[in-house]
Every structure is written in C-alpha cells, then in structure tokens.
Structure 1
Amino acid sequence: MMKHMLVAGLLACACLGQAQKDSVAMQYAATITKADLQKHLKIIASDEFEGRETGELGQKKAAKYIADYFRSLEIPPSIDRGYYQVYPLKKESSLESKLMVGDQTFNFVDDFFFWLGFSGGDYSSDQIVFVGYGIDHENYSDYNALKNQDLTGKVVMLLDGDPYDSDGNSLITGKSKMSDWGNDWRKKREVAQSKGAKAVMIVKPNYKAQVGRVKYFLENPGLTLDYPEKRGDAVIPAAFIAPEVADAVFAAGKFKSLEKIKKTIKKKGKSVTREMDVTVNLKVVRDAEEVKAENVLAFIEGTDPELKEEVVVITAHYDHVGVNKEGEVFNGADDDGSGTVTALELAEAFQKAKKEGNGTRRSILIMTVSGEEKGLLGSEWYSEFPIYPLENTVANLNIDMIGRTDKDHEDPNYIYLIGSDKLSTELHAISEEANSVYTGLELDYTYNHPDDPNRFYYRSDHYNFARKGIPVIFYFSGVHEDYHKPGDDEEKIMYDKMVTIGHLIFHTAWQLANQDKRIEVDVENEFTD
C-alpha cells in the first residue's frame, strides 16, 4: 500500500511541474456556490421530507425533488423517459424473535440481535458447542481443540474478537493488532457453517454499548434486495448475544463463567472448548412486505464520438433513517444531504458546460442513490443491473458526509479520501494534482489504511463499484456527535467547506472525463484477478 502511495505521489509531483489552471474548468466549478447548496439542503433536510427513509414517503418526495431539478437543468431523461431506476425490496421486521436457552427466554434487542440475510424459522438443537473464539488458523485453532468433533445440526457459541495473551498480543498476529478473524465475524460463521453448524451465537463483550449504536435499525424494519440472483448460497443465522445470555448457557451446561473462560485462554494461551447438553431455540420471526425504491440518475452525454461511451460516475445517497418512535425526524443534513446537494450542483456545472459548447469528452453520470442506510442497496442494484455498462465505467467518485468536522480536526479545510489508490495509482495522482492546483485542502488518508478498524472503505456506495474492479474515491469528513441522531440539522452545515470539496470533485471528474487516455487499473487487490 505505502509503495503504491509513494508511486502515486511521485506521479502527482511530476505532473504538478507542468500543471496550469484550466480557466474553462474553473468557470464551471464556480457555479457550485454556498447559496445554491444551502437552497437545496434547506429543502432536502427539512421535516417535510420525513428523514428520507428508503421505501417511505419522505424518500419518494426527495426522489421527486431531485428528478425535477435534473429536468429543470434540461438534462434529457434516459430511463424509460424518466430519471428513476426502480428496484424491488423486501421489508422485514424481526422484533418478535426470541431466543430460548433451557427454560429461560431472551428478547430481541434487549438480549440478542441479528441482521437480515437468512431465512426465518426455528433453529433448535439439544446441544450447544462452545468453540472459544471460533478461529481456525495455523497459529491458533479452536477447532483443533475440539478434535474434529462433528458439529452437524448443533448450535455453536463463540467469542467475538481475538484471543490475547497476558502481554496484550493477539494469539493470531503475535502483535497488539487484531487479526482478520477478530475483525470479521462472517469469517467465523463461514467456518462454523462448513463444519455443519445449524446456527452461531456470537458473544459481544460490550453488548449494551454496541446494541445502543444500532438500536434504531433493529427496532425498525430492515430492507433487503429482492431478486433471485441475489439469493446466492444460503447462510446460517448469526445471533449476537449479551454476556448474560452466554453465562446462562454456561450455567445450564454446568461450566465455568464467561470471564473465567477468557482468563484461562489469556493465561494459558490456548483454546477452551466445551460441548453442553443444553436445549436452545432461536426463533427468527420475519414479518415481511414488498416495497420499491428509486435511484435518481442524470446522464450528461460526452462530446467525443470515440470516448462518449465511457462514463465517469458521481454518486451520493439521498436516503437517511427516517423518524423514530417518539416522532423525532432524523433530517440527515450531513448524512448524506451534504453529498446529495453537492451532486446536484455538480450536475448543474457539467450540464452548463455541455449547453455552452464545453461539454466533457466522456459522459458524466450523476447518480443519487437510496438504500445506503439499509446496506448500500441502491448502489448494489445498479452494480448488478447497470444502466450504462460497467466495463465502460472509468471511475466512481462517491460523496458521503462532507458538511461537518470530526473531533480530530480543528481546521475545517480537510477531507478524508478513501480508496483513491486501491485500484489505480493514476486516479490518486489526478486527485492529488486537482487539490494542489485548485483547492488546497488537507487530504487525510487515515481511513484509507488497510487496517482501519472502522472499515469505511466497505461502508458507502463506492464499494459496490470497487468490488467490480472500478477505481473509486470516497469523499468523507468523518463522524461527529450528531451522526444518526436527530441533531444532524441544516443549520450546523459548513457550506464554505462543502463548496471547496465540491470544486475538488469537479476538477477531478473534469480531468477524468477529458484526458486522452482512460485511467488504468494497475493495483492488485481483493477485487482484481
């Protein structure tokens, strides 16, 4: 990674020696103004739009506002004479789900939770097998300690994270840094499933704090894409349980407490496992209905006959999380009203250039997506059913939360860039040059590091392009105290900051859409062959 960053930096420096400001580009970038951004955001992030929750009336109102604006710019509709890409969803609530251990009953949210992705029904067993941390690695294996015991039809219980020794080092990495096993519970589920487990219960050490951060999503219906191709291989349920639930299992199985088990593993540096004759039933309730949602697209065709089939895609998600049970509206001014209105202003800038005879050589697609807050659903749908071929997609520039600052920055003139070098060193160099020549922001790559525990690279809509091998940049200002709270309101937005970031994105897209040669995918990673 650092090698690629160095190469890209050298390329950028080499380019800067010759770089000159493009007065034509600057003319159209200047149309992105504080007044226009504020005009749009006061509407998009108002109570009238009801928190813009995907599939609900507020999201439909926002979609119409965006489409009407594209129409007012005289951008020709390109999808069935309209601007919407409609996609099907399944809306499901799991609040009535229960977990029974012996003669005790535990409640969804209060004691355990799970995400969507597997079928409803009863998952029961007369045995629970505790498999330590559920890791199967050459340096440490909980399954070796089981001596290849058959797990077919049994429920497996395991600890979240990594096992650590008394010196504070992971037994997998040998360092304080957590391993991929500790960071990805899906990897643990995959191994348990491969060994025949019926379901997995994952013990969350700080359950109350962690469930508090996602409680809103658990108490409200979840959404999944609904199409046959999405089904894929079936996965077993993975339920995250409070330590108290784990201790109830151990008590029923006449085994030591959770804390004693963790201390034993830490002291001895090896796994602790146990098969217990304890009845368990995970009752997964799915109250479901079918709904639809919309991505809103504005396609500005390129002017070069040989290059116009190639497309630079700019995305932002216009959905947010709706209204809570107390009637509080989550207006999502920053998340992602800030990105949405910036995308609208970018559409105006590129369309104005086109109308005045200065259109870009390649085509520009401005796409505001919904479903991001429910699992990147709108962008996933587009990546699976693209309106414009993915093989012709040059890059994706994704804008998500650019209107506030985080606790790590006193000066607002910064932006986190994520992903710019992960598939194309040239994209990174173009981005660096655009900033050096036009905007002078502090470009912070903290969250671009492959070991970033926040995993932001995987958490916004650019990811659905990156996983298809398309170079991406994710523009992000970081998390603040109003993230996913009712306080994310328009009056707290820093519009001057947004203008500068909007100019950076415009100049980056302008270069991508006008240079003679399309940027190359020249970095090997998990998405390249």
Structure 2
Amino acid sequence: MNGTSAIKVIKWNFISVLFLLAFGSGVCAQNDTISSAVQSITRDELFKHINYLADDDLKGRDTGERGQRVAALYIAGEFRKSNLERAFGDKEVEGYFQRFTMVNRDFGFFYAMSRKKYRTNYSGIIYKGASGTSTKQWVETNPVFIGSTGNPDYSKCNKEAALLVTEGNRSLNAMIDSLGELTKVRLLFIAVNDKKLFTELEANYWSLERFQLESDYKKLLDHNVLLRDYFSFRNDSISLVLLSQKVTKDLIGFKTKDLLKKAKKSENLGEQIAEDSIWSYYKGMDTLKVKLTENVGTIVKGTEFPDELVVITAHYDHIGWRDTSNYNDSVVIYNGADDNASGTSALIEIAKAFQYLADQGIRPKRSVLFLPVTAEETGLNGSRYYVQNPLYPMDSTAMVINMDMIGRRGYLMRKGKKKVYAAAFQSLEKKSKDLNKKYDKKNKDIIVDYRPGLIRKLLWKKGSDQYSFTKKCVPAIAYFTGLHKDYHKSTDTAEKIDYDKLLDITRHVFLVAWEVANNTEDFPINRE
C-alpha cells in the first residue's frame, strides 16, 4: 500500500485497557464490567450472524427484495432480544426501521447491427421502449429519412422505421410533442447532432436507470427541462432510439452534419438513405419501478450529552442473484458474506456489548446510534437517506464509524497477518492514529494500518457509507480488510470468513467506539 506503516494491536491485555479507561469512583468494578463486555463479543455469535445473513435462502439481500427484508427483520430481532431501544419509533418491531422509497427507470434493451458494426444502449445509444413493447422483437429495417427535428415531414413516412436528425435542443422537445402524427412508425431513430446534448442525455439516462432515492429522482428531472420533457415522454407504439454522432456514422453511414444538409433538400425526404439495412433487437418497455426498503436502527442513550451522537454503521444489503437458466439451468446467488455480512455481524455484537454495559448501569456520555443501512450497493442510498433525515441534527453527530468487508485478507495484506485498514476522514488522521494506538500495543496477531494510502484516497473516500456523512462534515473512521478475488462474486461465502480475525477486529472497534462516546475532550463536535 505505497509504504504505509502499521502498528501492532491488542491481544486483549485487559490490565492495559482497564488502566486506560479508569476514571471516577468505583473504577475497578466498572472496568471489570467493561472487560466482561469485551468478552461478551464471541466468535460463535459472529459465526451465527454471518451464516444466517449469507445463506442462500436470502438470495444475496438485494435492496427491496425479500432477502433484504428478511435480513432487516433478523437484525431487528437480534436488537430486540438484547432489549436494545428502538431508534425510529415506539412500535414493537416497526420502531427499529427507517423506511424509504427508491425508484428507477427501466428503459428496455436495444441492440442494432449494420455495416458489420453493432451497438447497444450501453454504448452511444439511448433507448426508450414504447409502453406497448413488452415482448422481444427482431426487425430488419432501413429507416425512412423524414428530415430534421426542426422541420420534420411526417407525411413522407409510410414505413415502420423512420430517421430524424436533431436541429437544436428546443426543436427536439417540440418534435417529441408531435410524435402522435407518426401513425405507422414503431421505431424512430434520432441522430443527435449536438455532442454535448447527447453526452448530457446519456449521463442522466444512466442516472435514471439505477435505483436512487425518490426525492433525488424528482430533483434530477425538476431541474432540467430538456431531460424532463424527454424522459417523461411516453407512447404506446413508438420506441425512441437516440444515436450519438459516432453511432450514426457506424449504423447509418452518414455524419450527422451531412444528414442536416440532406434534410434541407425535399428530394431526400421519404428515402431510405442508410447504406445497409439495420438489424434491430429490442425488448422491454419504459417502466418506472418502485422499491420500499429500510435502514435498521437502535440507540443507547448517553448520560451527560444525550443529544450528541456517535454513529456506528455497516451496510447489510448486497447485490442479489442472477437467473442463468437460459444457459445452465440454475441461478447464481451472490451471498456477500464478507461484503457485508461481516461488518453487519460486528455491528450487532458491538451494539449488544453496549447494552450489556447499560444493563449494569454503565452508559456512555454520548448517545450511540447503531445503524445497519440498506442500499449501499445501489450508490450509498441508505446512508444518504439517513443524513437527509437524521435521528438527531447532523451538526450534533460527533463521529461515524463504518465497517465494510472486515472478515477476509485482501490482496495487499501480508500472508499470515491479521490486518485491518482504519481510514480516517475530515482531519481525523492524527487522532485516529492515536486512538487506535491506545488499544494496540500488546496484540501480535493483528495489525491496524491507520494510513491506508490508496485505499483511503481512491476507494474509501467515496467507496462506502462514511462518505454520506463526511459530505456533511462529520469525522469518520472506516474499517476495511481489503478487496479479494471473491469480491462481488458468488464465491463470497460464509466458510471463507476468518472468524478469529473478525472477532479481534470487532472487539477493537467496540473499544474505539466506547472511547469516542466518552472522550468529548479529544473528540469534540467541531464543524468549523
């Protein structure tokens, strides 16, 4: 990792830990209880959680699907068994959930081949399937050229496929409004002459196609008239196929600027001008999909500063499953044992350890929110929703601690060493180093790398849920054991987890979280 240095950590030398945590009257009894809380985090419980969450029956915990909802109920059930307080309401089970809606647009799939060139709506084509196009179709066609969007001649089209070339942004919108005049056309190719316009449309095409918060979806369309007009267009019979300048040349055989010249001559209108027929395959209609999903939350209230918050988070969703029955009569399940049943299991056990202390009358000075979030794999949407709708105001959040993939040995870790990266953000690097070192000196089996170089700068700055918080200027520490060959594959399974390593990391994060929740002097709330 570019020469990053490492420090040796804890073998749970409790004499050292007791010394570090000692304060006030009744110190010995309290420290004995904290030691017992550390020991209450067990390998067996971590094993149980991961094997449940990464079981085939949950089918990869895809956001909004049955497996993800079952996982949410399991986590809430574990909180409830430990008498942990509901964070989001008073209802028996519902109070553990922060529910929200996500949406996406499925525009359908389009494939075209002509002149030995082929393209899809993943490479220079924007496709919007007609609302009546629910089945797959193969079409061989040579579209009729009907001019430019500024002055189309719909009377020249008596075929099922037509071709237009754009002439300015506004005329594209006007043309879309008048498409009802094309009574016979089923497939309308639109060659976009404006490179900037196509790039903008294509970028937002992908933004709308991935699942996102409903509020973000509406905001994207509300702030761009062109996009709103184009993407809100619906037609029962006409599928739109927008072509980039390069794809127009590949499929039609003409540059868009040459098509504009042809559009000015009436003798070219109504002609099939493509150099060769276009084979088109398309299926699916433009559909708005809606998913209901939920973050899970429990809180341990603080004593001296109950309105200040430390957030412990880990995402519990994964990428689901894929039907491969077309070619091997099976399904592929992405179990996500390390990503991120490992972090979720650690979070559950840390929450239970905090509650163990609370049951003995020992509570942190600050409140601590344990927040397993959903929809990380769709773009950090669960944590994004939380920071937009926080339990406490964001300026009352002292720190977030995130755990994502903490159960394996990544590519860059030395063989035989139990190593975990601790990436710090929002000017927390020095304090994170000191904080980890405070509990690290006696353990020869784990290395905490508190300066993970490229991991911090490239992957982890925006790569997991702490980013939603750091965008709100909340300091963060993110724990991570590195990428490996099973990342986002069906082979990320429970038997490959290093449970001894996960146990040590979980206990370490518990002690760090306890320190942050009580040390208001070294970790003040400061947004300046």
Is 1:443 aligned to residue 431 of structure 2?
no
What is the deviation of 1:390? 1.1
1:199–1:236 CA contact under 8 A, matched in 2? no
Q: Which residue of 2 aligns with 1:413?
A: 418
Give SS of 2:512's match. helix
Q: Does structure 1 residue 35 correspond to structure 2 residue 74?
A: no
Asked if 1:460 is matched to 2:469, the reply is no
Distance 1:113 1:339, change over 3 A: farther
Matches for 1:89-488 after TM superposition, within 5 Å:
89-97=102-110, 106-109=119-122, 111=123, 153=169, 197-200=196-199, 222-227=210-215, 231=219, 233-234=223-224, 277=258, 286-304=286-304, 307-326=305-324, 327-409=331-413, 410-420=415-425, 422-423=427-428, 425-436=430-441, 441-444=446-449, 447-449=452-454, 452=457, 454-488=458-492
Find the residue that maps to 2:440 and give its secondary structure. helix
Amino acid at match of 1:461: D
Q: Secondary structure at the match of 1:443?
A: strand
Q: Distance in 2 between matches of 1:403 and 1:277?
A: 58
CA distance in 2, matches of 1:67, 1:229: 29
Taking structure 1 as reference, are residues 360 and 437 closer, same or farther at Cα in structure 2, changes over 3 Å only? farther
Question: Conserved in 2, the CA contact under 8 Å of 1:412 and 1:497?
Answer: no
Post-superposition CA distance 1:476-512 (Å, at most 9, x none): 1111111111111000000111111112211111111
- How many angstroms does 1:361 deviate by? 1.3
Q: Distance in 2 between matches of 1:417 and 1:63?
A: 27
Distance, in Å, in 2 between the alignment partners of 1:439 and 1:98 is: 57
Letter in 1 for 2:42: T
CA, structure 1 residues 113+66, in 2 after alignment: closer, same or farther (shift >3 Å)? farther
Q: Give the Cα separation in 2 of the matches to 1:449 and 1:302.
A: 36
Comparing 419-428 with 352-361, greater Cα deviation is found at: 419-428
Does the aligned pair in 1 maintain the 2:426–2:470 contact within 8 Å? no
Query: 2:248 touches 2:256 (CA, 8 Å); kept in 1?
Result: no
Cα distance 1:356–1:474, how it changes in 2: closer, same or farther (>3 A)?
same
> 1:41-60 maps to which residues of 2 (within 5 A)?
41-60=50-69
Tell me the distance in 2 between the aligned counterparts of 1:493 and 1:18: 27
Shift in Å at residue 462 of structure 1? 0.5
Deviations 1:243-279, CA, capped at 9 Å, x for gaps: xx98656668999xxxxxxxxxxxxxxxxxx995468
Q: Confirm whether residue 62 of structure 1 aligns to residue 71 of structure 2.
A: yes
1:502 to 487, 502, 506: 506
Partners of 2:342 and 2:406 within 8 A in 1: yes
- Contact 1:414–1:477 under 8 Å retained in 2: yes
Is the 2:422–2:449 contact (alpha carbons within 8 Å) kept by the matching residues of 1? yes
Deviation at 1:388, TM superposition (A): 1.8
Compute the displacement of 1:20 (Å).
3.6
AA aligned opposite 1:486: S
The one-letter code of the counterpart of 2:449 is D
> In the TM superposition, what is the alpha-carbon distance from 1:351 to its structure 2 partner?
0.5
User: Cα distance, 1:456 vs. partner?
Assistant: 2.4
CA contact (8 A) 1:427 1:471 kept: no
Aligned residue number for residue 141 of structure 1:
none
| Cα separation, partners in 2 of 1:431 and 1:99, compared to 1, 3 Å | farther
Kept in 2: contact 1:438–1:504 (CA 8 A):
no
User: Whose Rg is larger?
Assistant: 2
Quick one: which amino acid aligns to residue 79 of structure 2? Answer: F
User: In structure 2, do the counterparts of structure 1 residues 323 and 252 end up closer, same or farther at CA, with 3 Å as the change threshold?
Assistant: closer
CA distance in 2, matches of 1:90, 1:229: 7
Q: Describe the superposition over 1:300-338 as per-residue Cα deviations: whole angstroms up to 9, x where unpaired.
A: 11122xx12111100000101111112121110000000
8 Å CA contact retained: 1:330, 1:488 = yes
CA distance in 1, matches of 2:247, 2:441: 59
Provide the C-alpha distance between the structure 1 equivalents of 2:427 and 2:374, rounded to a whole number of angstroms: 25
Aligned-pair Cα RMSD in Å: 4.4
User: Residue type matched to 1:419 in 2?
Assistant: A
Q: Match for 1:79: what amino acid?
A: F
Q: 1:429 to 1:459 in 2, by over 3 A?
A: same
The 8 Å contact of residues 67 and 296 in structure 1, kept in 2 or not, is answered as yes
Give the TM-score normalised by the residue count of structure 2: 0.65
User: Does the aligned pair in 1 maintain the 2:346–2:506 contact within 8 Å?
Assistant: yes
Q: For residues 19 and 196 of structure 1, what CA distance do their matches in structure 2 show? A: 65
SS across alignment from 2:290: strand
- 1:365 counterpart SS class: strand
Alpha-carbon deviation of 1:455? Answer: 3.0
1:386 alignment partner AA: P
Aligned to 2:28: none
Distance 1:226 1:201, change over 3 A: closer
* Separation in structure 2 between the aligned mates of residue 21 and residue 468 of structure 1, nearest angstrom: 31
Identity %: 29
Amino acid at match of 1:323: W
Q: CA deviation at 1:113?
A: 8.3
